[in-house]
A and B are shown apart, each in its own frame.
Chain A
Amino acid sequence: MTSPFLDGSTQTKTSWVYSDIVKDHFFHPRNFVKDDEEVKDYDAHGSYGSPACGDEMHMWIKVDPQTKRIVGCKWRTFGCASAIAATSIASEIVTKDGGMTLEEAKHLKPQTIIEHLGGLPDRKIHCSVLCDKALFEAIHHYEQTHF
């Protein structure tokens, strides 16, 4: 087939493409709450967004009382592919290598999550990465109830 394009390709590149990491987390989400029982012994819960804006995230955290590190992070999300993938990867980021301290997790930036996802389409950045705010709410809830 003769290429209609300068780069010799025979298929157009899609203008709206998610990364392979987003794909992986979207189709194989990690750490989501399958059953309420799973988070029964978790220490705090936070949520952000609303169905009206198209995305709603809930996060539950389990905190080591001595080290104040996040040892468990679970979530539920109503939202698009990038919202689901962002929440999924954030739950991994905060719990890996023994877990982030609450102080570290409070400063988790959307940009860091996006970098871990291998980037997001521009117009998806503001609306779909809200999990850091849900996490912040959960930490705030923890601090209110455990200090």
Chain B
Amino acid sequence: MRQVRQTWFGTPQKSTRFIYLDHAAATHLDPQVRAVMEPYMQEEFGNPSSLYGQGVRAGQAVENSRKSVAKILGALPEEILFTSGGTESDNLALLGYARAHAKGGKHIITTAIEHHAVLGATKQLEKEGFEVAYLVPDTQGLITAQQVKQALRPDTILISIMYANNEIGTIEPISEIGNMVQKYRQETGKTFPVFHTDACQATGYLDLQAEKLHVDLLTLNGSKMYGPKGIGILYRRRGIKLQSLQFGGSQEHNIRPGTENVPVIVGLAKALEIAESLRAKECERLCTLRDFFIREILTSVSHTHLNGHPTTRLPNNINISFAAAEGEAMLLYLDHEGIAVSTGSACTSQSLDPSHVLMAIGSTHEEAHSSLRFTLGRSTTKKDIEDVLDILPPIIQKLRLLSPLV
């Protein structure tokens, strides 16, 4: 049977080509992950809080998953909290810590390029009387430890800086910043500021050992690591108090009540384990493909430039602005050819604002509207990249022909 593809127009098109280059948005569920999840949806459906066999087995599955995640993060099992995803983990880290420590100070440091899950939380905290410093990165998206140090105040209680940016792929010097924060705490003899990092895009590409990163709080989510959606992790260094965002039972150390989503927790642990085992090989493979694509597209299409850092970037991230061609138009032409990408153009965002990340690194509105993000993944082959290199230039050429901006 030929594959029938559902396009954005709602009319199925016969196309055998499907090149998925939006792994930073979502990843497919690894079949091995699905296999370990299956039993917990059918026969082992018990509530982990129940005391009979089925409940105990479900509870054990959750605790084994917690141990497995803890091992990869170099953490203790009790330092791992399961949440509903990256957004909840970020919200819990920021709102939960700030609200619990408001007496210690009301100053928070973050960056202008954080995910909305962090920026939305800081906006809420501003309403609650906190003061937030938004550090602006350089034109390649880098924040320095020195910058963070300069922003520190005696009343700074929390610092939140992402590990790697989801749009432009720039990797922040988390270990260096964390080290500086630790030293600062030692010098001042205070227990704060604590350091949170959103590591959602880092899984499978970067070292997640909390000790090495010198972080106190760390966010991960399942849907970016070939695991199930609707599951996240918040690493919380022992001793750090968080105020709950929801109320109910005593699950997750009373911090995050609600019956554990057992199959999804089991799936997340397996997904993380696989991601970690493939990490070195995938990094090498994808860096080669990434650099090949960037080099080729920048030489074959004029008036293009790479957004983000040329080398200190995620192995799977490519973000390029194609002057005078608009992002949504490029995206939909590519979709028509069976290629899935994303854009920083306002036209595709619900808010109709261009990417706040591209604006923060000093892009013009036009550059932000003209950007495309390609994020590679496990299924990406050299052939996929070559196909995109064949298909994309004529699309740019056509849209530039229509454009008054050339």
Seen from chain A, the residues whose Cβ lies within 8 Å of a Cβ on chain B are 11, 13-14, 16-18, 20, 23, 26-27, 29, 32, 34, 47, 51-58, 76-81, 83-84, 123, 127-128
Contact = CB atoms under 8 A, between A and B. Distances in A.
A84 to B, nearest CB: 6
B9 A77 contact: no
B24 interface: no
Nearest to A81: B332
Contact of B10 (A13, A54, A77, A80): A13
B366 interface: yes
Contacts of B11: 20
Contacts of A81: 328-329, 332
Contact of B366 (A14, A51, A58, A128): A51
Interface in B318-375: 324-329, 332-333, 336, 345-348, 350, 352, 354, 364-366, 369
Nearest to A18: B9
How would you classify the secondary structure of chain A's contact residues: helix, strand, loop or mixed? Answer: mixed
A68 to B, nearest CB: 26
B241 to A, nearest CB: 40
Contacts of A54: 326, 345-347, 352, 354, 365, 369
Interface residues of B, number: 30
A55 to B, nearest CB: 8
A100 to B, nearest CB: 23
Give the residue among B336, B364, B366, B403 with the most A Cβ atoms within 10 A.
Answer: B403
B1 interface: no
Give the residue among A47, A76, A78 with the most B Cβ atoms within 10 A.
Answer: A78
Contacts of B8: 14, 16-18
B25 interface: no
B404 interface: yes
29 contacts: A11-B6, A14-B6, A16-B8, A17-B10, A20-B11, A26-B329, A32-B401, A32-B402, A34-B401, A47-B404, A51-B364, A51-B365, A51-B366, A54-B345, A54-B352, A56-B404, A56-B405, A57-B404, A76-B402, A77-B402, A77-B403, A78-B324, A80-B329, A81-B329, A81-B332, A123-B352, A127-B347, A127-B352, A128-B347
A115 to B, nearest CB: 19
Contacts of A17: 8-10
Nearest to A123: B352
A26 B347 contact: no
Nearest to A134: B404
Interface string B362-405: 00111001000000000000000000000000000000011111
Contacts of B327: 80
Nearest to A56: B404
A102 to B, nearest CB: 23
B365 A52 contact: yes
A51 B369 contact: yes
Given A13-B10, A23-B9, A127-B347, A84 B404 contact: no
B383 to A, nearest CB: 25
B10 A14 contact: yes
Contacts of A79: 326, 329, 347
A53 B403 CA distance: 15
Give the residue among B10, B327, B364 with the most A Cβ atoms within 10 A.
Answer: B10
